Amino acid sequence: MRFEIVTLFPELFDVLRTGLLGKAQDAGAIDVHAITPREFTTDRHRTVDDSPYGGGSGMVLMPGPFAATLDHLDEARAGNPTHRVLLTPQGTRFSQAHAQRFSDLECLTLLCGRYEGFDERIRGLVDEEVSLGDFVLLGGEAAALALIEATARLLPGVLGNEESAADESHAESLLEYPQYTRPEEFRGQKVPEVLRSGNHAAIARWRRKESLRRTLERRPDLLEEADLSKEDRVLLKEINDEA
Ligand code: SAM
């Protein structure tokens, strides 16, 4: 999958050369292109922003350099389609469902703002607007990195173990069950007996129940969206009866 990032700070995406995403790039599973709209300016100072019409503080990103960058990327892709996402605190809140949907695409183009944000006409150049959460960052780059990481780890061959993504928090609108590794006892706390039993059916049942318990305790809102089986409802009843 190809990730294109339009940013005033392409060097911030060098961090994607680290760890599993670095390996995924080396293996050709993902391809990352960060490009600055400054390359597509026409003045000596490579200006990409200007003061807002109507007055007010800060600078607004001009549509021209962003549109020219997107045209350049379209040409470089030789007509292959992309999906354009504008990072903004005004967008829909990013979730695992976005990551899942994006991971089915051939190419994703992310537009990162800075300063006071985008000229309104840049919004007309994109397919959707996404927010990392209800807070304001200095720029869209941290949001783009989070979105790339959440999406790329769902691609075949990136994690190396496809099951671990399927099992994790939010994969089925549930939080993950508690995980343990060695030592068997740490500061008086023992690993639950069932996990050391070797009984795979009992382990699977315990994990499902603890996943439901954790979701119920921490994010009951998620349970409303979860596709619960008859067995899940039995486990939830057990949890409620234990309380
Ligand atoms: N004036 C803008 C507003 O109120 O919507 C905020 C501008 S913000 C300081 C600069 C840039 O950071 C934005 O254009 C956007 O790209 C990025 N940004 C800030 N907060 C974000 C968030 N929660 N999610 C995604 N991008 C964000």
Residue 163 lies in a domain: no
Query: Across the chain, what does the average pLDDT equal?
Result: 96
User: Cα(186) to centroid of ligand 1, in Å?
Assistant: 43
Q: How many domains does the chain have?
A: 2
* CA 77 – CA 35 distance, rounded (Å): 14
Say if residue 35 is in the same domain as residue 139. yes
Pocket test for ligand 1, best of 121, 131, 132, 136 (most atoms within 8 A of CB): 136
Domain of 43, in residue numbers: 2-152
Say if residue 51 is in the same domain as residue 138. yes
**Residue 167: pLDDT over 80:** no
- The predicted structure's pLDDT at residue 44: 97
Q: Report residue 171's pLDDT band, with 50, 70 and 90 as the boundaries.
A: confident
User: Cα(94) to centroid of ligand 1, in Å?
Assistant: 14
Contact 29, 134 (CB under 8 A): no
Say if residue 173 is in the same domain as residue 134. no
Residue 86 lies in a domain: yes
Residue 201 lies in a domain: yes
User: Cα(234) to centroid of ligand 1, in Å?
Assistant: 44
Pocket of ligand 1 (CB under 6 A): 87-90, 112-114, 116-118, 131-133, 135-140, 143
Q: Please report, for the domain that includes residue 175, its CATH number.
A: 1.10.1270.20
